[in-house]
Structure 1
Amino acid sequence: MRDWYTSQELAGLPGLPGTVPGIRKVAARLEWESRKRLGTKAVEYPFSGLPAETQAALMARSIAEVETPVEAVPTKVPEQKAIATVVKGTSRLNDVQRAVMVARLCFIREIERMCVATSQNRAIDVLVKQARDGALSPYLTERLALANNKQTGDRTLSERSLKRWLSAYRTDGEAGLAPLRQRPNLTVPAWAKDFLRCYQRPTKPSVAASYAEFAQRYEGPMPSIHAVQRFLKKLSPEALQAGRMSPQELKALQPFRRRSTKNLFPGDVYTADGHKFDAEVINPLTGKPYRPEITTVLDVATRKVVGVSVGEAESAIGVLDALRDAVRECMFGIFYVDNGSGFANDTVREVVDRLGGTMTHSLPYNSQARGLSERGHQTIWVRAAKKLTSYIGADMDKHAGTRVHRIGRKELREGGKSRLLPAFGEFMSGVEHEIATYNATPHRGLAKIRDPETGVLRHMSPNEAWQAAIAEGWEPITAPGSLVESLMRPQVVRTTRRGEVAWAGSTYFLTDLTALHGQEIRIAYDVRDASQIWTFTLDGELIGAAQLDGNSSDYMPRTMVEMARDKRQQGQFKRAVDKLETLTGHRVEMIAPTTAPSANLSPEALEAARDYAVSLDQQRPKFEVPGDDVARYRAWVRLNQRKLAGEELTADEARWWERYPSHPDFVAMQEVFQQHAG
């Protein structure tokens, strides 16, 4: 709005003549103040000297013409303290409250602009009249309904509302214009306890089923099922599921604390856990399907798999087997495990103490504390199991799983093997492949690096994190093989009997134990080699190595057994011939073919025979050492059986048969097969 208007602009307004000469006559008669407009000959008159009706019309016209956004209107810049108060007061408003506040602020700003030329009451009267007549500008019309914040159809302004908004704005700033938020009624009804007693059960009954049981027992005023549902929506997830979920399951709904591993070096903390493989493989000893138990040792700092073992169930033997591989990679400071039977036992604790580490157990039923191990199982072993047709996880199709189970068992009964169930050797090869793949794959929990080949920023792999620590100056402390072998032998106390000592269902003999008959000694055993044990006095002095069945011998001399076997064979032949003569009525003779060369063969025939023998020898398949640990051990067992049966081995077979028992893998596989046999 302006303070001065010309006769042309005032002509036709309420309270004034409709022509310019008429305006001039009224101005002369009423002695209005006047002045010439700069740059023109036109005469203009002040707004304050005009009649009241004219002033109202001019303000209404100004409101209809103004469509400037609130932000563009220059206002007085508040002080820094006032700004902080406004921000603090409006920071907790929701979207509806904030929208209503801004809409009301638009009308406050309009009143302030009008008050430059007129009084506040006059400006309010003009806005109320324009709102009632629908003459507000489109900008204010769009905000009228929102500023009222009413559920009814009445969307007009009132003098009382505008004055209330002005008072709230001057008292509390913008925050005073926001409507109050309707808080939910959080009072607990009288029937809530009785209903929750029916609803909060481990069987997880539905609301309808719980309401039906509640209606039969409750004696007070019955609420509707809709009231019950509204009450349940007000409860937090933790309060709602209390009783329906165990305390362990409720932890999935509760806040948790993330553990940072940025300040750890490799080997500072090892964590281990067992996992029942979610697919079936062929047991190498029984030939029956079973689910192996895999014990995995992870380095917390680098997420690298440093040790693994495979068994039939979680046990101390499997844990020590995996720990053996881990300490060969690097010694550890803390061994962080759960309270399972394979970890919470004196055997494992004794070995950890002798290695100089500290065993720490997580709280019972708190698998979240060992999230690295749990996630490692999902990443490595669950994904590996899903690659096999024998996968039997919870998300396996029911009908497909039943079909695989039926066909696999049928093939095992008929042929001794199945194309749907992997052999143990194939499974072990897959285990090594999965570990190598995991250790070489980028891990989200590790820092990012620039890929040297692609230049893309990505996370480090466990192997790269291990090497990065070495590059920074960290050196892995590796234990010598002899030290590892000695430390990994658990010790128990046993009583000797006539040079023998019993352990794990077997008998071991050492001549030096004869003098200790009936006394207690300490024995140390190897979880991978059951062929011998190491005996010590109670003071720790080494006595010697007792051999498995070291004092056993053949019940009868070998020659006597062989003579009796030949005699029995001859008797069987004679009885067979007599039976044939009785059945046929003719004489029967047993003619054994001679292996001596015929004396009638010419030198040319003998030379041809020699050449033929050489060609047969060349056609004989060459002996090759299998590439898999299990296959190598089985090949040695077959050669050993042939050797015991008196069969002659080739030079390559005999050489490898003699050398392989001294290999460390032979001892490990022999222990595995003996465990399964036991």
Structure 2
Amino acid sequence: MKRGYTAKELSGKTGMPSTVRGVKARAARENWPGQRRSHSKAIEYSLDALPTETQIAIITAQSQSRSDFSDNKQCFPAKGKSPPFAATTLNDDQRLTMGARLSFVLEIERMTAEMTQKKAIATIVALSKEHRLDLFLHDRLVVANDRSTPTSTLSERTLKRWISTYREHGEVGLAPGRRRKNLTMPLWSTDFLRCYQRPTKPSVEASYMEFCEKYTSDQPSIHQVRRFLDKLSPEARNIGRHTAQQLKALQPFRRRTTKDLMPCDVFTADGHKFDAEIINPRTGKPYRPEATTVIDVATRKVVGISIGESESSIAVIDALRNAVQHGMFALLYVDNGSGFVNDTVREIVERLGGTLTHALPYNSQARGLIERAHKTIWVNAAKKLTSYIGADMDRQAGAKAFRISRKQIRENGGTTLIPSFETFMAGIEYEIETYNNAPHRGLTKVRDPITGKRRHLSPNEAWARAISTGWQAIIAPSDVLNDVMRPQVIRPTRRGEISWAGNKYFLDNLRDFHGADVRISYDLRDASKVWVRNLSGELIGEAHLDGNASPYMPKSMVEQAYRKREHGQIRRTLEKLRMLSDKNNHMSIVEHSSAPILDAARLAEAKRVAKALIDSEPTPFTLPPDPIAKYQLWQKLNADICNSLPLTKDEALWHSSYQTNMEFAAMRRMFEHIES
């Protein structure tokens, strides 16, 4: 048993301070006798000078460890001893070194069954110097030494230290220590971060230059500054450079699951400024519409949309009106925008029996479901248009399209680069239908009955599956929806007419309200009529579009005028042909004839020549303004192509380009639905 112990060996033992510095201070205070250990600078303190409880603990521990090592095949750490660090904190490099050292300790333990420990250690040291270790230990020798340069020899002292550490702390104690990052904040860190953590996001070089101008103490190098920033977490480094909302993208989050929800349990709604221009149906000028979308959280199905000029309560009410036609919602989850935070929307939601819930401010991550749907539906739809002005649009191409469209509007009153509102709505209906029928990765997987492969359910399939399990939607009565959820505006009436959105609506019952203001309710998808109420809310009736309009002249009179004009055109054409024929044949004109007299053969020849002249003149190609007429014109041109009939250059060009337009796809689906 040893008679002397260093301050490091005594630290943490029973009756001793837990630190080396504390042990040395107590030894100096109590005048413990000590001497320098051989081949070392450490001071050994005599066992007799130590406190009684410490002597008992040391003697008991050493007796127990010697008995365990000599009598057993394995060595175990002494009870009550804890390793210097937990096994869970070790990295792969430390684990490899620990395993290599353990191999040597266990080999010495095996050899002590036939020889003493001292002789076993000397044998291992000699074999390592002569490079005669077995292959297993030889491969682990360099790893066990854990040196910066490869060392293939061992010393007696090293092996004894490994054995002692293993007895005291187990195999975890054999792991080498590693220097941890110094996470203390330098004295200059606060002043530098004051220059670096700004919303303008200055570079490290710019922040360092400003810091050096203001900091008067010992200035660090820019490399020290960079190493300091590398120690900081991304969140701590970007405080001040990002807003609270942007910092949330660097923070842990709670993922919400929707597996326990049924359809119509939760609706979520949000507005999105469309990233392309369309023609405003009210003003005839280009604008970016505001699209309000309502999605069922359980199935991800888009159940309602509304298009307006800005986020407002009118747009929200219109979108909810379309949504509740699929079923009444229990909870409406929205943000704190002006379109949702108002008494009108709150009153309607409460009247429908639902609950309105707002997300926390600057917490768009909580509504990631509908934010992602905006990109899938609205952003992708905007990128299909030539009037796209989003962030991904090429700057020069966007500027060129802008100049051309404005020039066309100034000169012609319209443009081919910006779609009309009808074309836009037809395309949006197609995008919504495509989204609801496409597999959604937020839904469960099923095996496709056609391909046999596993895929996600589509929103429509998820809705249908819920119905098949017995779920039924609660549909609000139509009179409640019409009475509550149609947007209303106040407009003046003149002689039974109301002007709204560029149209004229007529109601005979308004004759008594001439010059007064009335409230009209309208449907954004049906412009054929509006519902008129007085200012107190009583229904007056339905005013129909152009309800008092009639033809300027009777149709029979117009047709008679058309026939008279055609006869006049034919007579004048024949007169010109007769004069040309007489001039070429040097025929004289009978002066007393008051009207040209032609026989039957010459009259037939004149008609043939006139028809040939009329047919030879090219007719300018013009497009009808109505989308239905456009599609019918395309069908006619397509039939001419199938029958090998020639088309003009303008006709052929329009025929090929119209097929790529969203209006064509919408009209085609409509005609196919009507025919079926």
The normalised TM-score by structure 1 is 0.63
How many pairs align? 484
Partner of 1:206: 203
The equivalences for 1:638-649 within 5 A come to none
Tell me, what secondary structure is at the counterpart of 2:224? helix
The equivalences for 1:486-635 within 5 A come to 486-489=483-486, 525-526=521-522, 528=524, 531-535=530-534, 542=538, 544-545=540-541
2:211 corresponds to which letter in structure 1?
F
The equivalences for 1:43-82 within 5 A come to none
Tell me, what secondary structure is at the counterpart of 2:170? helix
> Per the alignment, do residues 629 and 488 of structure 1 end up closer, same or farther by CA in structure 2, a change over 3 Å counting?
farther
The one of 368, 375, 378 equivalent to 2:375 is 378
CA distance in 2, matches of 1:197, 1:351: 49
2:255 pairs with 1:258? yes
Instruction: Say whether the 8 Å CA contact 2:279–2:421 is kept in structure 1.
Output: yes
> Per the alignment, do residues 278 and 491 of structure 1 end up closer, same or farther by CA in structure 2, a change over 3 Å counting?
closer
Partner of 1:339: 336
Partner of 1:317: 314
Partner of 1:186: 183
Structure 1 residues 280-329: Cα deviation after superposition (integer angstroms, max 9, x where no partner): 22334444332221111101110000011112221222111111111111
The one of 468, 471, 480 equivalent to 2:468 is 471
Instruction: Say whether the 8 Å CA contact 2:317–2:487 is kept in structure 1.
Output: no
> Per the alignment, do residues 252 and 139 of structure 1 end up closer, same or farther by CA in structure 2, a change over 3 Å counting?
same
CA distance in 2, matches of 1:460, 1:158: 68
Partner of 1:272: 269
Structure 1 residues 75-98: Cα deviation after superposition (integer angstroms, max 9, x where no partner): 96999x99xx99x95333101101
CA distance in 2, matches of 1:188, 1:395: 42
Structure 1 residues 205-235: Cα deviation after superposition (integer angstroms, max 9, x where no partner): 1111111111111121111111111111111
Instruction: Say whether the 8 Å CA contact 2:505–2:530 is kept in structure 1.
Output: no
CA distance in 2, matches of 1:426, 1:195: 56
The one of 405, 409, 414 equivalent to 1:408 is 405
Partner of 1:461: 458
2:351 corresponds to which letter in structure 1?
R
Instruction: Say whether the 8 Å CA contact 1:310–1:318 is kept in structure 2.
Output: yes
Long gaps (5+) in structure 1: 1-74, 553-601, 606-623, 633-678
> CA shift at 1:253, angstroms?
0.6
Partner of 1:232: 229
CA distance in 1, matches of 2:507, 2:296: 41
Partner of 1:195: 192
Tell me, what secondary structure is at the counterpart of 1:162? helix
CA distance in 1, matches of 2:174, 2:313: 71
> Per the alignment, do residues 400 and 208 of structure 1 end up closer, same or farther by CA in structure 2, a change over 3 Å counting?
same
> Per the alignment, do residues 226 and 162 of structure 1 end up closer, same or farther by CA in structure 2, a change over 3 Å counting?
same
Partner of 2:121: 124
Structure 1 residues 44-64: Cα deviation after superposition (integer angstroms, max 9, x where no partner): xxxxxxxxxxxxxxxxxxxxx
Q: Which has the larger radius of gyration?
A: 1
Structure 1 residues 398-418: Cα deviation after superposition (integer angstroms, max 9, x where no partner): 233233333333444444444
2:260 corresponds to which letter in structure 1?
N
> CA shift at 1:532, angstroms?
4.5
1:445 corresponds to which letter in structure 2?
G
Instruction: Say whether the 8 Å CA contact 2:293–2:319 is kept in structure 1.
Output: yes
2:331 pairs with 1:303? no
Partner of 2:220: 223
Partner of 1:115: 112
Structure 1 residues 175-206: Cα deviation after superposition (integer angstroms, max 9, x where no partner): 11111231111111111111110010001111
Instruction: Say whether the 8 Å CA contact 1:267–1:332 is kept in structure 2.
Output: yes
CA distance in 1, matches of 2:626, 2:507: 35
CA distance in 1, matches of 2:628, 2:295: 24
2:364 pairs with 1:367? yes
1:403 corresponds to which letter in structure 2?
K
> Per the alignment, do residues 78 and 317 of structure 1 end up closer, same or farther by CA in structure 2, a change over 3 Å counting?
farther
2:355 corresponds to which letter in structure 1?
T
The normalised TM-score by structure 2 is 0.63
CA distance in 2, matches of 1:266, 1:305: 12
Partner of 1:450: 447
> CA shift at 1:364, angstroms?
1.6
Partner of 1:392: 389
> CA shift at 1:151, angstroms?
2.1
> CA shift at 1:535, angstroms?
3.6
> Per the alignment, do residues 449 and 153 of structure 1 end up closer, same or farther by CA in structure 2, a change over 3 Å counting?
closer
> CA shift at 1:163, angstroms?
0.9
CA distance in 2, matches of 1:178, 1:483: 75
Structure 1 residues 525-549: Cα deviation after superposition (integer angstroms, max 9, x where no partner): 4465784432475xx8x47459799
2:269 corresponds to which letter in structure 1?
A
Of residues 394-403 and 168-177 in structure 1, the stretch that sits farther from structure 2 once superposed is: 394-403
Partner of 1:438: 435
* RMSD, matched Cα: 4.4
